[in-house]
Structures are given as structure tokens and as C-alpha cells.
Amino acid sequence: GAVVSQHPSRVICKSGTSVKIECRSLDFQATTMFWYRQFPKQSLMLMATSNEGSKATYEQGVEKDKFLINHASLTLSTLTVTSAHPEDSSFYICSVSSGRENTGELFFGEGSRLTVL
């Protein structure tokens, strides 16, 4: 499967600051990447679909101005949490589609745990 790398794996920031998380597809050119968020003991929730060279598609209830997604190349997508608040503390995970048509098979990065103080 695809190798997906995320950075940073952990980040602690003060309330009101912005945090950028990088997701790299190391061995696969990914036109589409997905960003998920997982709160403790909860399911993974899809936040947005990142499309190379175009705007991201956000799921209902996810603020696009707060969670900025940039997918400038086939190997890199970034998620910026702007003006972070304690309620944004979560485990953010990016994923890459295998590319098998209409299968939804995903390979996940290691995840980034954000703690907002």
C-alpha cells in the first residue's frame, strides 16, 4: 500500500495560534487526499477532501475558513488550523486513496495529535 507520512506527530500550542500539519504521500502520486479528525473514544470523522490543484471539499459542519487545506502538489497536502482553541484539540489523520476505482480503500498517515492550551 501507499506510504503516507504526517508531520508533526504531536503539537502543543496556545489558544489563538495557528498550526500547520503536513501530509506527504511518499511513494504514490495522490490527486486526492482525505483529512479526518478523531476525538477520544470517537470515530474518525471526515473533515474534507483535498484535491490537487483545486479547492478542498469540506464536509457539512466543518468551517473552511478555520481549517485551511492546501494541496499544491501530488505528494503534499497541508491542513492549517487557524486561531486554534481547546475544542480543536484532537487527533488529525490524513489519508490517501489507493486509486482503485470507486473502492474507498485508504492508507493513513501516522496522525498528528494537537493539544491547544
Partner 1 sequence: QKEVEQNSGPLSVPEGAIASLNCTYSDRGSQSFFWYRQYSGKSPELIMFIYSNGDKEDGRFTAQLNKASQYVSLLIRDSQPSDSATYLCAVNKGGSEKLVFGKGTKLTVNP
Binding region for partner 1 (CB under 8 A) out of 12-20, 22-30, 71-79, 97-105: 97-105
Q: Which of 12, 26, 72, 110 touches partner 1 (CB under 8 A)?
A: 110
Confirm or reject binding of residue 111 to partner 1 (CB under 8 A).
yes
HEC assignment per residue over 48-66: EEEECCCCCEECCCCCCCC
User: In the structure grid, which three cell numbers stand for residue 5, read together?
Assistant: 507520512
The answer to whether residues 6 and 110 touch, using CB atoms and an 8 Å cutoff, is yes
User: In the structure grid, which three cell numbers stand for residue 14, read together?
Assistant: 496556545
Q: Tell me the sheet residues that pair with 59.
A: none
The answer to whether residues 89 and 24 touch, using CB atoms and an 8 Å cutoff, is no
Q: Which of 79, 97, 114, 116 touches partner 1 (CB under 8 A)?
A: 97
Helices (H) and strands (E) in the chain, counts: 0, 11
Q: Which is nearer to partner 1, 15 or 42 (CB)?
A: 42
Binding mask 18-57 for partner 1 (x = CB under 8 A): --------------x-x------xxxxxx--x--------
**Contacts to partner 1 by CB under 8 A:** 1, 32, 34, 41-46, 49, 91, 93, 97, 102-111, 113
